[in-house]
Structure 1
Amino acid sequence: MEETGLSESKGESQMIRKPKQMSESMILGVVLTLAGGFQDAYSYNCRGQVFANAQTGNIVLLGQNIASGNFQNALHYLFPLLAFLAGVYLSEWVRELCKSFQKLHWRQIVLAFEIVMLAIAGLLPQSLNVVSNVLMSFACAMQVDSFRKFRGIPCATTMCIGNMRSGTELLCRYHITKDPELKRKSLHYYFIILVFAIGAAIGAVASQKFGNPAIWIAAGLMLLGFILMFVKEEIQGETE
């Protein structure tokens, strides 16, 4: 019996010490969500009222301009949409080609792409707003495709509608079943939505104060996320 208890204890210890991916940690989710909210506020306030992340809004505005015969203005919304599709496509190739890398996680490579694109976007003048929005939409697509869950819960860091639906659904299920786990997951979604709103507020203020280079703040947040993934891996290696 003692041996059985000892083996169970060892098993529990191994389960506790089992490493978790930093790419799915809450701290990284907060950092990337802040950057996601920031980008949407920046692109709307500083780059011609185009949404870098909320492509549904861009589709509506694209259709509205086409219906009004403003075909040239419609391109302001069409190009970011195409860039979003290209970003998802590229991120899948990065995952496939780089998933076996040892020194870098493939998601870190995605973050590196994003950092470079946002850094370039901040250098562009107002006359190149379309190019800037294309770069930001491309970066957003790579992020939303690569970072899909945190603490094991599917979650988006660049938009809120899915999080709002999931959080409210879980809240309703909690009130029906009284399962505390459903409440915890629901609060997780509402917390992420709050973080996104904070990022958007910071982005709006920074855009007014710093203008075009304000997007470098979002790039800095992604750089922080890139570094955090290194730190976590180092700690995990020590505990194994």
Structure 2
Amino acid sequence: MKKQMSDSLTLAVFLTLAGGFQDAYSYNCRGQVFANAQTGNIVLLGQNLATGHPGRALHYLFPLLAFMLGVYLAELVCRRYQNSTRIHWRQTILLAEIVLLVIAGLLPQSLSVAANVLLSFACAMQVNAFRKFRGLPCATTMCIGNMRSAASLLCGYHTTGDPELKRKSMHYYFVIAVFAVGAAIGAVLTQRIGERAIWIAAGLQLIGFLLMFAHEPDPVHID
């Protein structure tokens, strides 16, 4: 079996673009619900409950539950198929995500709650399946952990002068920037295309799926 690219920066770029795109899409096209940023959904859930809007709170509760279920399923796939020689278990996760995003793009505005459930489920599988790139813990669907790591490593570089810490810090800042680019593209294209714009994120994930059939490239250094 060929060595997978699941740890490569190239794959991280495509998955992170898709992650940013999905958050912008769900917020702008599906009722201001976050596909990835579940902390925001928890805040909005509590706010709606506190202000007497339990019906609106369900718009955020269902994606939260879907996210947890997605993590559970992705972990189950890993445990059962991590030794598979036919196809990498992470590719199975990506295929499932692509299918879910395609279905979400077919749903009208009247079914936005269902679309958000599918999106959150898909994002959860991705965040659980792809946790490291170039050996560094890294998320492709959210930024808070990446921001903490970037700032912490940069502080380490400034206090020790170790250039490796600077390189790792720049790795995180690069991924954060890619996420922002994905969100910007998602916001613009969602306004122009509407519900089916999410298929662009599915296309980015499809590229990632195909990349994983290739040999892992030489390390890319970001200085």
Band the TM-score falls in, shorter-chain normalisation: over 0.9
State which of 156, 160, 182 in structure 2 corresponds to 1:199: 182
Aligned length: 217
State which of 95, 98, 105 in structure 1 corresponds to 2:78: 95
Structure 1 partner of 2:106? 123
- Residue 20 of structure 1 and its aligned partner are, at CA, apart by 5.7
- Residue 89 of structure 1 and its aligned partner are, at CA, apart by 0.2
Tell me, in whole angstroms, the C-alpha distance in 2 between the residues paired with 1:120 and 1:21: 28
* TM-score, L = length of structure 1: 0.88
Tell me, in whole angstroms, the C-alpha distance in 1 between the residues paired with 2:98 and 2:52: 36
The answer for unaligned runs of 5 or more in structure 1 is: 1-18
Tell me, in whole angstroms, the C-alpha distance in 1 between the residues paired with 2:132 and 2:167: 15
Q: Which moved more, 1:94-103 or 1:131-140?
A: 94-103
Tell me, in whole angstroms, the C-alpha distance in 2 between the residues paired with 1:21 and 1:119: 25
* TM-score, L = length of structure 2: 0.95
Structure 1 partner of 2:147? 164
Structure 2 partner of 1:4? none
- Residue 100 of structure 1 and its aligned partner are, at CA, apart by 1.8
Q: Percent identity?
A: 71
3-state DSSP of counterpart to 1:230:
coil
User: After the TM superposition, which segments of 4 or more aligned residues of structure 1 sit over 3 Å from their partners?
Assistant: none
Write out aligned runs for 1:1-240 (5 A). 21-232=4-215
Tell me, in whole angstroms, the C-alpha distance in 1 between the residues paired with 2:126 and 2:215: 19
- Residue 231 of structure 1 and its aligned partner are, at CA, apart by 2.1
Contact 2:153/2:168 (8 A) holds in 1: yes
3-state DSSP of counterpart to 2:215:
helix
- Residue 232 of structure 1 and its aligned partner are, at CA, apart by 2.4
The answer for unaligned runs of 5 or more in structure 2 is: 219-223
| Per-residue CA distance 1:139-178 (angstroms, 9 max, x = gap) | 0000000000100010000000110110000000100000
| Per-residue CA distance 1:94-121 (angstroms, 9 max, x = gap) | 1111112112000000001100000000
Question: Over aligned residues, Cα RMSD in angstroms?
Answer: 1.3
Tell me, in whole angstroms, the C-alpha distance in 1 between the residues paired with 2:13 and 2:205: 11
Tell me, in whole angstroms, the C-alpha distance in 2 between the residues paired with 1:20 and 1:149: 15
Greater helix fraction, Structure 1 or Structure 2: 1
| Per-residue CA distance 1:54-95 (angstroms, 9 max, x = gap) | 000000000000001100000000000000000000001111
Letter in 1 for 2:81: C
| Per-residue CA distance 1:110-140 (angstroms, 9 max, x = gap) | 0011000000000000000000000000000
Rg: which structure is higher?
A: 1
| Per-residue CA distance 1:12-42 (angstroms, 9 max, x = gap) | xxxxxxx864101000000000000000000
Letter in 1 for 2:145: G
Tell me, in whole angstroms, the C-alpha distance in 2 between the residues paired with 1:165 and 1:83: 26
